[in-house]
Amino acid sequence: MPHHGNEEEHESEPVSFRDNRKIDPETGEVRGQQKDAGEPVAEESATGEQAAPAADASEGDALAQAEAILNEAGAEGHNPAVDVVAELRNDLLRLQAEYVNYRRRVERDRDVARDQAVIGVLNSLMPVLDDIDAARQHGDLADGPFAAIAGKLENVLKTYELTRIDEVGVAFDPNVHEALMQQPSADVQADSVSQILRAGYRKGERVLRAAQVIVAVPE
């Protein structure tokens, strides 16, 4: 079969082929897995698209964003979206006010419950305090270990703002005194407490038990 052209030129052309082997026979590494050291590798999502940068977490709270949108819309003119944003802003403000009121109410209720618990304990200890007073009046608490224990108990109760109502010579006050008897006296110009029959107690400004007293009245 005749040849066109020079036969030596055909014999001298190099034969090229593509190596499709996945493993490089010289290095033993999998081909297509390496990148140049200086080439940045972009993170891709499951769909093959490059991942977007994370949103900045310091964009501000919802109220600040709403204010910015309203200011921008006001500068550009009326926008129907402004009414929606303003309504959402008002809702946020109302929810914030309701939350603040709720917290205050919870704290107030917690304080009331704590005071009620303390008052219940103090009321249950009043008969014990009455026995201590009776023992002290009879001279049984002059000294000894029981006197020391009674003193410690009274000091502990003072930390809960428990105070005695046992003053004599003061004006009679029906809010803190319970008159069991009246005695005319030329030494007083107004109704006064002349004797304490049973001490009363108050916690702070709240009277827990009125003092039972004898009242001296003018003649």
pLDDT tens for residues 142-159?
Answer: 788 888 899 899 999 999
Q: Which helix (H) or strand (E) holds 211?
A: strand 211-218
212: β partners: 178, 198
Triad 60, 65, 70: Cα angle to 5°: 155
The set of long-range contacts for 187-196, using a CB threshold of 8 Å and a minimum separation of 24, is 187/216, 188/216, 188/217, 188/218, 189/218, 190/218, 191/215, 191/216, 191/217, 191/218, 192/216, 193/167, 193/168, 193/169, 194/168, 194/169, 195/168, 196/166, 196/167, 196/168
- Helix/strand/coil for 196: strand
Cβ atoms of 179 and 145 closer than 8 Å: no
Lowest-pLDDT range of 67-71, 85-89, 165-169, 185-189 = 67-71
Q: Which helix (H) or strand (E) holds 128?
A: helix 80-137
Task: Express each pLDDT in 51-102 by its tens digit.
Answer: 444 444 444 566 676 667 666 655 555 566 667 777 888 888 888 899 999 9
Q: How far is CA 18 from CA 10, 22, 24, 31, 35, in A?
A: 21, 12, 13, 13, 21
Would you tell me how many other CB atoms lie within 10 Å of the CB of residue 210? 18
Q: How far is CA 77 from CA 64, 66, 70, 81, in A?
A: 20, 16, 10, 11
Provide, rounded to the nearest whole percent, the portion of the chain with pLDDT above 90. 41
With tokens 């000294």, the residue in question is 143
CA gap 62, 94 in Å, rounded: 13
Predicted pLDDT of residue 14? 53
Residues sharing a CB contact under 8 Å with residue 47, sequence separation 6 or more, in sequence order: none
> What are the two backbone dihedrals, phi and then psi, of residue 32, each rounded to the nearest 5 degrees?
85, 5
Task: Give the predicted TM-score (pTM) of the model.
Answer: 0.54
Predicted pLDDT of residue 54? 43
